[in-house]
Amino acid sequence: MDVEIGGLFGFILVVLDVWAIVRTVQSNAGTGAKVLWIVLIVVLPLLGFILWLVFGPRD
């Protein structure tokens, strides 16, 4: 099974992932939690972003 994300959806996903990473870096979470969230977002862009929205660090 090959899943390919491209075009406008891919661009929007990249923008949202960058936004999530910036918000994670700016949060008050510990360094380990920040690194874990950033790795999760980079390795699994769509699933990582969704998990970050639900469980990610809050301000």
4 burial class (0-12, 13-18, 19+ CB within 10 angstroms)?
exposed
User: Is 50 among the domain residues?
Assistant: yes
Q: Could you give the number of structural domains in the chain?
A: 1
pTM for the structure as a whole:
0.85
7, part of any domain: no
Of 39 and 59, the one with more pLDDT? 39
| Residue-wise pLDDT tens digits, 3-57 | 666 788 888 999 999 999 999 999 999 999 999 999 999 999 999 999 999 998 8
Is 19 inside any structural domain?
no
| C-alpha to C-alpha distances, 10 to 14, 30, 54, nearest whole angstrom | 6, 30, 21
DSSP per residue, 9-45:
HHHHHHHHHHHHHHHHHHSS--HHHHHHHHHHHHHSH
Question: pLDDT band at 59, cuts 50/70/90?
Answer: low
Cβ atoms of 45 and 6 within 8 Å: the answer is no
Residue 47 lies in a domain: yes
pLDDT for residue 1 is more than 70: no
Asked if residue 54 belongs to a domain, the reply is yes
Residue 37: domain span: 29-59
The reported pLDDT for the residue numbered 38 is: 96
